[in-house]
Each structure stands twice: as structure tokens, then as C-alpha cells.
Amino acid sequence: MQKFAIVGFGFMGITHAMSILNHPGAQLVAIVDLDPEKVLENLGQEAGNLDTVALKKEDISGIHTYTSLEKCIVEEKPDACILSVHTDLHYSMAIQILESGIHVFVEKPLVLDPGQGDKLIELASERDLLLMVGHVVRFMPPYLKLKDWIESGEFGELSWLSMTRFTGLPVWGQWKEKQNVFGSTGGALFDLAIHDIDFVQWVLGKPDSIEATTLPGKLSAHDYICALWKYESGPDVKIEGGHRFHHQFPFEAGFSANFEKASIKYSSSSPEHITIATDAESLQVAVGNAMEGYKEELGYFVQCLDRKAKPEMCLPESSIQSIRICYEHLSE
């Protein structure tokens, strides 16, 4: 049984708590948050742009809460920590966790400074500890199906791929406060579009060229991104997303792909299926709920802990590659 502490109990902390509580090989022993009195209150408030959990107060009523990560580590001695605080705290807290001899799962982006990411990887390696980053799209069934079709060649070669991800301006939790620290979150480029940037580089590799346009918003100078990736011997890829809309604008993500033998389309607004179209017909294929990716992601991390194995499906080196590619979308 792997004992977990969750550090940061906002939207993602709550999501990971549900995954831990539902996993037979994991135990949630502690929650670390600046305001532990609000931990239970957070369950009844708007916490994110996706409906991922149905966590109830009684589910965590017996879990110890702390304001101090250090005290939590000393008293609870967790096997691993889930780090789901804002990005500007990732590096210092991940260092503290790793130096305490504890495995760590860090929400994306790992850091905004790739050099800091390299130091975290080096420290985890020196201490023989697992470091994994929460690139959940790698675990979502519709996206895994797309990856399978690309790699298997079932529909022939891929010539065009379009990835989109839009939502309203986040103001839940501490997000509204982050408007006063412009750029500290990384904005939509590093916090939202990175989902698709990471997925595409994971499946297709680093592009040979990137043409990108970014626009500012309330959180950063790049809260909208539209990019065209080109591969010399591969498909053209468009990545577009952002959160420049009003807060109540509905979240939507998806992809469209053109293969030799078929075109396919997926949208989170119709999450039950992927549409496959040819010249002769259009049909729908059930693929499973994308939100299952959070459960699968946590399950994979537990599996790696049990086996003392590197998270080959989501190595931190690959996560750093995604961050470096994000910077290639910015004008010099």
C-alpha cells in the first residue's frame, strides 16, 4: 500500500484525492494546504473547468490536514506526495519533497524554467526516487486511440492534425489572485495549450519548424496561442487554445485528423465517441471517457512505485522537452 500526501487542495488536489481513494493500492494519509479550515469547504465550491470528481466531505473527514509540508512529512512519512500547487511553487516544494527521500508526482507544467527541471531530474536520480509529471492527456482514452491509429497506420499516413483547447478565464481558488502576479502561472501557453503541445511531441516528436501567434490576456502575454508545426517527413499540425474568454465560457477540447483513408474528429462536448468519416460513410466509435485519464494516470504512478520502475510512459525528461517547445512559440 502506497501512502500519499496531497500538497495543494484545489481543483487538481481534489481530483487526485478521488483517484487515490478509489485505488486499492493507495492510501491518502494527509492533505497540505495553506488554509486547512477550507479543505472541506472546497468540496462544495467551483474548483475547475472540468467535472472530474464527486468527492464528499465524509470521504476525507478522517484525513489529517497540515499547513506545513515539513510537519506533514515528519509526522505522516508518506511514500509519495502529489504536488498540485501553483506552478511558481513547484520547484521549491519538489526539492523539499525529494530531499526528504519521498517520491513526487508534480502537476504540469513541472516548472517554467527548464534548468530547474533538469535539477529536479538530477536530484531524483541521485536519490533513486520517482519524479513524474501530470500530463494527463497521455492517459485519456480518446487521445490514446488517436495515438494508436497514428502508429498502427490503420487509416494510412497522417497528413494533418488539429488540436484545440479553450476555456473561460480561470478565477477559482487562487487563480484570480494570480492576475496580480502577471505571468507567474505561465498563462494559457504553459498551463493549458501545453496539454496538446506535450501530446503531439510525445507521439510525433519535436517539429522541424514552428510558426506561432500569441495574444495577451489577464494572466500572461500568451493567453491565446495558434501555432502551425511542420515536419519535413510528417504531417502538418495546428495547435490552438487559450482562456481569453469570459469566466463562464464552457471548456472544450478536441482534435481533428486527416489520414489517407479516413478523417476523424473528437470533441469533449461529445465525449462518448470519435467520428470516423470516409468518402462513403461516417460512423461513430465508442472510446471511453477522457476523464478516466486522471484515474489511469494515478494508477500508473502507483504501479511504478510498486515496481520501483521509471515512469516510461511519462518521463520527466519528456516533460522538460514540452516546456522547451512551449518557449519556441514565443517571439524573440
What would the CATH number be for the domain defined by 141-290?
A: 3.30.360.10
Query: What is the structure's pLDDT at 47?
Result: 52
Give the whole-angstrom CA distance, residue 50 versus residue 252.
9
Residue 208 pLDDT class (50, 70, 90 cuts): very high
Residue 11 pLDDT class (50, 70, 90 cuts): confident
Query: What is the structure's pLDDT at 164?
Result: 98
Residues of the chain with CATH 3.30.360.10: 141-290
Query: What is the structure's pLDDT at 179?
Result: 72
Question: Could you tell me which of 283, 261, 295, 319 has the C-alpha nearest to residue 94?
Answer: 319
Radius of gyration of the chain (CA): 20
- Give pLDDT tens digits for 74-121: 999 999 999 999 999 999 999 999 999 999 999 999 999 999 999 999
Residue 50 has pLDDT above 60, yes or no: no
Give the whole-angstrom CA distance, residue 92 versus residue 291.
29
- Give pLDDT tens digits for 110-159: 999 999 999 999 999 999 999 999 999 999 999 999 999 999 999 999 99
Residues of the chain with CATH 3.40.50.720: 2-134
Query: What is the structure's pLDDT at 178?
Result: 67
pTM: 0.94
Of all residues in the chain, the percent with pLDDT exceeding 70 is 95
Give the whole-angstrom CA distance, residue 332 versus residue 327.
9
Domain 2-134 fold? Rossmann fold (3.40.50)
185 or 198, higher pLDDT: 198
Residue 48 has pLDDT above 60, yes or no: no
Surface-to-core class of residue 152, CB atoms within 10 Å of its CB (0-12 exposed, 13-18 middle, 19+ buried): exposed
